[in-house]
Structure 1
Amino acid sequence: MNEPAPDASRPVPGPPGLPQWWEPLLSRAAASRTEDFTTLRAPAVGGRSSAVLVLLGEQRAGEPDVLVLQRAASMRNHAGQPAFPGGAADPDDAGPAATALREAGEEVDLDPSSATVLTLLPQMWIPVSNFIVTPVLAWWHAPHPVHARQASEVARVERVTVADLTEPANRLRVRHPNGWVAPGFAVGGMLIWGFTAGVISALLDMAGWTRPWQPGRLIELPGSTAPVGAVPSGAPDEVVP
């Protein structure tokens, strides 16, 4: 028997103490579809399972932020690129949430017990690496200091505030050498683009946090940055290690 489709108009029950700003984001994210993020469809066969952790917390009440890391400049793929913590699934992982939390622990020393998984976003395909990525949306109910565990892989770890992400002056468009143009964010000395920027942009819209901005600022990516196909809301271009 088929399960009914999620209803984005009905609030999704959250754990005790969940801040009010999670709605309507949580309900809309739980009811979201792949096409809300990308037009690319995963192949019927093949693709390596992976997951990323979209971890939202707050350092001040009512002021949400999201955990972002910046890859080391020495990495072979996507050197210096901001991303969500995450990586490929291990055979022993109990699912995407377990993968995302394990990878976050390995990359930024996140205590998995400090995060409450709320919902899984739709799977998204990264053609260049043939990864099938599941973003895991979680509430950082017990924030603690995090740091890069291996400097050869992670250069820095930042908690980027939603206020900075929605600041019109920080929003821009990014054009890849192959011609696609997608959302980007210039925050904290980082240029967030690609898969990460696409997911963030879509979630800001779902939450009703997006502020009007003029998409006139355009950044050209260097030709060596990321080979990827075009999608409307952000290119799923990152190679998940």
Structure 2
Amino acid sequence: MSAKADLERLVSGPLGERLSVRERERWRLDDLDPQAFRRAAVLLLFGPLDAIPALSHSAAVPDDLDVLLIERAGTLSDHPGQVAFPGGGIDPGDDGPEAAALREAVEETGLDAAGVDILGTLQDVPLGVSQFLVTPVLAWWTLPSPVAVVDFNESAQVFRVPVADLLQPDNRYTTVLRRAGRIFRGPAFAVNGVVVWGFTAAILSSVFDEAGWTQEWDRTREIPAPVRPEDARR
């Protein structure tokens, strides 16, 4: 089965429901206030994004399979400096989360939307700390186009990461976040000189598990969450 077929299977399966439960248990998130939460969508864009192969090799995926990520600007109020999927708030004029995720990705990375094949959405995931209800949108990059930072007030960098490198056990950790006297743990990936953690790492980890791509890794290896001191107190 191809990588694209694996992802298409996730859209029609129960991944989203299990993911939502996992997130509540892993991060001990409070229920979102229905009067306060904001709707958002992120684009999980997979495909052969360029001709540079992975540094690692996995029998589960092709060496040229990548996922598109951004590093959020350090001046943003929500999740500053974190590695994330392209995405953002769903506007009234958007035709649902799929359209919103694609629009935001175009605005953030300059990609050509005509080359993106939307596969479908996963179950909404709550982010209690920032009061977002996020819809992950799975997509395949059929015709890759150049990408770069469009607005440095929003993003510090735009980059592709080979999935085989993310799956490499030596690149996987459990991140530890101490916030307001509580300890939160979740999956993390250390690749390309950055740490992918939090919501983004949790989504990637769950997608890899459900797609059957995950290699066994040492979950006792811990690294601190890369957050600013003032954010840890929130």
Q: What is the TM-score with the length of structure 2 in the denominator?
A: 0.82
Are 2:155 and 1:154 aligned? yes
Are 2:136 and 1:143 aligned? no
Displacement, 1:21?
1.8
Q: Distance in 2 between matches of 1:138 and 1:225?
A: 31
Q: Is the 8 A contact 2:32 2:128 kept in 1?
A: no
> Percent same amino acid among aligned pairs?
40
Deviation track 1:15-58 (CA, whole Å, cap 9, x = no partner) reads xxxx8222333213421244421323865834321100000011
Instruction: Return the match for 1:30 from 9, 12, 15.
Output: 12
Displacement, 1:105?
1.0
Aligned to 1:166: 167
Q: Distance in 1 between matches of 2:66 and 2:128?
A: 29
| Aligned alpha-carbon RMSD (Å) | 2.1
Displacement, 1:171?
0.3
Where does structure 2 lack aligned partners over 5 or more consecutive residues? 25-29, 54-61
Q: Distance in 2 between matches of 1:77 and 1:49?
A: 14
Q: Distance in 1 between matches of 2:15 and 2:220?
A: 29
Q: Is the 8 A contact 1:124 1:132 kept in 2?
A: yes
Deviation track 1:98-157 (CA, whole Å, cap 9, x = no partner) reads 100110111111211110100101011111222111010000001011011111111111
Of residues 52-61 and 194-203 in structure 1, the stretch that sits farther from structure 2 once superposed is: 52-61
Aligned to 2:59: none
Aligned to 1:45: 34
Q: Distance in 2 between matches of 1:225 and 1:162?
A: 29
Aligned to 2:197: 193
More helix by share: 2
Aligned to 1:211: 215
Aligned to 1:125: 126
Counting only pairs closer than 5 Å after superposition, residues 45-64 of structure 1 correspond to structure 2 as: 45-46=34-35, 47-58=37-48, 59=50, 62=62, 63-64=64-65
SS of the counterpart of 1:38? helix
Q: Distance in 1 between matches of 2:33 and 2:17?
A: 16
Q: Distance in 1 between matches of 2:12 and 2:33?
A: 23
Distance change >3 Å, CA 173–CA 225, structure 1 → 2: farther
Q: Which amino acid aligns with 1:28?
A: L
Aligned to 2:77: 76
Aligned to 1:116: 117
Q: Distance in 1 between matches of 2:19 and 2:155?
A: 26
Of residues 112-121 and 55-64 in structure 1, the stretch that sits farther from structure 2 once superposed is: 55-64
Q: Which amino acid aligns with 1:137?
A: L
Q: What is the TM-score with the length of structure 1 in the denominator?
A: 0.80
Number of aligned residues: 210
Where does structure 1 lack aligned partners over 5 or more consecutive residues? 1-18, 229-241
Q: Is the 8 A contact 1:48 1:132 kept in 2?
A: yes
Of residues 198-207 and 75-84 in structure 1, the stretch that sits farther from structure 2 once superposed is: 75-84
Q: Which amino acid aligns with 1:180?
A: F
Q: Distance in 2 between matches of 1:44 and 1:30?
A: 29
Q: Is the 8 A contact 1:48 1:130 kept in 2?
A: yes
